[in-house]
């Protein structure tokens, strides 16, 4: 039996609201299937399952606030599902419940029972209140002589747990608050160090222009895919940068690059490009075509927000030359690419004008030192100088 718990979709996330179950008990699911929709500060997120099996009892009601780590359901084997497991499973869960939670739940039960004796409430209202964990003493009755009726309880439930869909302004505010929380935490806890380097992009851009001539407009590559792929390859060369800091450096096997997408309404969102090192440039472009519009409309999958191993930000569209960013914990590095501009370039005793890109690295000094950061930037440069091998 595999426990399926509310995933964390970023260092800034404490809870989300379950908006829809996409499965029902007994459904067969496989890795990558969407089992629920959770509303977070970053929009409605499709929650994926990472195991294969049969869905057990759904332990969270729609519109309920669900703290990160809360048990939502179980993914069962065929044998477990065929056994009469659901009631037994519930008993086990109650026993396993942390003492404080169990006591709190018991206190709530007692509270409801006690108030029910003193308040005038219809039997149905009491039943619904008990089921939903609503304190009857806090409800104003609209029945005869002020008695609480079922509709009063249902209204209280609605008011309590379903604040309604956020307005556009609220969504932008939520994103702002999520960014504020994550960046404040990072700035408070992570000792950053910064490095910067320049790379001559003349050859890479010529190569890209030639490559794009062979492609239809729909399949053309943007320079950013070269930057993403070069970063992924550099992470293979310097794996300490592809890591999380969680009571020590934890290197990650897979390379999932978080790509910063600016929202025109304000704020940013950072969806992950999975297995960026294994994708061709064409595949990376297709991924961007898929992920950027979904990020802008706040329709991402849980894994796209949860498992990035590094962040890449590209502010090259405006007049910005360099970016000294803030790391998104628990990652240990952020790569910033500025604009590509023509600059004087000295090489082999000669001065020329070249298309130059400024690359910066913000890295966690608990995890790595300047020497490792320097090797990483050198590796990115090396790969950008050899675009045909990306």
Binding site for other proteins (CB under 8 A): 209, 212-213, 217-218, 220, 222-224, 262, 264-265, 288, 292, 317-318
Contact by Cβ (8 Å): 56, 83: no
Complex with other proteins: residue 100 or 217, whichever CB lies closer:
217
Complex with other proteins: residue 60 or 335, whichever CB lies closer:
335
Separation CA 49–CA 7 (nearest Å): 10
Residue 156: closest CA among 193, 208, 107, 119: 119
Least distance (Å) between residue 222 CB and other proteins:
5
Q: Spell out the SS3 assignment of 213-245.
A: HCCCHHHCCCHHHHHHHHHHHHHHHCHHHCEEE
Least distance (Å) between residue 208 CB and other proteins:
9
Complex with other proteins: residue 204 or 288, whichever CB lies closer:
288
DSSP per-residue codes, 247-276: SSEEE-SS--EEE-EE-TTS-EE--EETTG
End-to-end CA separation in angstroms for the chain: 43
Complex with other proteins: residue 125 or 312, whichever CB lies closer:
312
Q: Give the containing element (helix H, strand E) for 121.
A: none
Least distance (Å) between residue 315 CB and other proteins:
9
Helices (H) and strands (E) in the chain, counts: 11, 19
Complex with other proteins: residue 21 or 337, whichever CB lies closer:
337
Task: Quickly tell me which residue has 């659901």 as its tokens.
Answer: 86
Sign for the pseudo-dihedral over CA of 90, 95, 99, 103: positive
User: For residue 146, what are the contacts with CB-CB under 8 A and spacing of at least 6?
Assistant: 120, 140
Least distance (Å) between residue 166 CB and other proteins:
16
DSSP per-residue codes, 64-110: -EEETT-EEEEEE-HHHHHSSHHHHHHHHHHHHS-HHHHHHHHHHHH
Complex with other proteins: residue 34 or 315, whichever CB lies closer:
315
Least distance (Å) between residue 318 CB and other proteins:
7
Contact by Cβ (8 Å): 241, 376: yes
Complex with other proteins: residue 357 or 377, whichever CB lies closer:
357
List, in sequence order, every residue forming a beta bridge with 145; answer none if it has no partner: none
Least distance (Å) between residue 299 CB and other proteins:
14
Q: How many CA atoms lie within 13 A of 170 on its CB side?
A: 9
Least distance (Å) between residue 358 CB and other proteins:
17
Q: How many CA atoms lie within 13 A of 299 on its CB side?
A: 4
Least distance (Å) between residue 292 CB and other proteins:
5
Complex with other proteins: residue 217 or 346, whichever CB lies closer:
217
Complex with other proteins: residue 111 or 262, whichever CB lies closer:
262
Secondary structure letter of residue 148 according to DSSP: B
Contact by Cβ (8 Å): 94, 102: yes
Complex with other proteins: residue 24 or 218, whichever CB lies closer:
218
Least distance (Å) between residue 41 CB and other proteins:
19
Least distance (Å) between residue 142 CB and other proteins:
43
């Amino acid at each position: 039996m595999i426990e399926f718990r509310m995933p964390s979709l970023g260092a800034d996330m404490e809870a989300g609201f379950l908006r829809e179950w996409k499965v029902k008990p007994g459904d067969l699911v496989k890795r990558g299937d969407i089992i629920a929709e959770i509303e977070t500060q970053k929009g409605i997120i499709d929650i994926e399952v990472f195991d294969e099996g049969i869905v057990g009892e759904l332990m969270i009601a729609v519109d309920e606030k669900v703290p990160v780590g809360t048990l939502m359901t179980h993914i069962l084997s065929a044998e477990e599902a065929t056994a009469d497991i659901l009631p037994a499973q519930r008993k086990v869960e109650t026993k396993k419940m942390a003492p404080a939670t169990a006591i709190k739940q018991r206190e709530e039960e007692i509270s409801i029972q006690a108030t029910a004796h003193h308040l005038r409430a219809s039997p149905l209202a009491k039943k619904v209140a008990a089921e939903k964990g609503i304190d009857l003493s806090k409800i104003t009755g609209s029945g005869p002589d002020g008695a609480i009726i079922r509709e009063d309880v249902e209204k209280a439930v609605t008011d309590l747990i379903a604040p309604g869909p956020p307005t556009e302004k609220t969504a932008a505010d939520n994103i702002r608050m999520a960014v504020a929380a994550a960046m404040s935490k990072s700035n408070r806890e992570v000792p950053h160090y910064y490095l910067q380097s320049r790379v001559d992009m003349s050859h890479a851009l010529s190569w890209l222009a030639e490559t794009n001539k062979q492609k239809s407009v729909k399949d053309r590559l943007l320079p950013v895919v070269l930057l993403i792929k070069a970063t992924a390859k550099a992470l293979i060369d310097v794996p300490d940068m592809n890591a999380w800091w969680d009571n020590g450096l934890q290197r990650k096997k897979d390379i999932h690059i978080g790509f910063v997408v600016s929202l025109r309404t304000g704020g940013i969102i950072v969806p992950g490009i999975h297995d960026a090192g294994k994708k061709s440039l064409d595949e990376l472009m297709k991924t961007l075509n898929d992920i950027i519009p979904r990020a802008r409309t706040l329709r991402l999958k849980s894994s796209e927000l949860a498992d990035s191993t590094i962040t890449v930000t590209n502010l090259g569209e405006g007049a910005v030359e360099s970016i000294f960013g803030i790391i998104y914990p628990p990652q240990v590095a952020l790569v910033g690419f500025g604009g590509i501009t023509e600059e004087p370039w000295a090489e082999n005793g000669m001065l020329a004008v070249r298309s130059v890109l400024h690359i910066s690295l913000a890295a966690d000094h608990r995890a790595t030192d300047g020497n490792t950061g320097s090797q990483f930037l050198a590796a990115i440069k090396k790969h950008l100088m050899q675009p045909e091998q990306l």
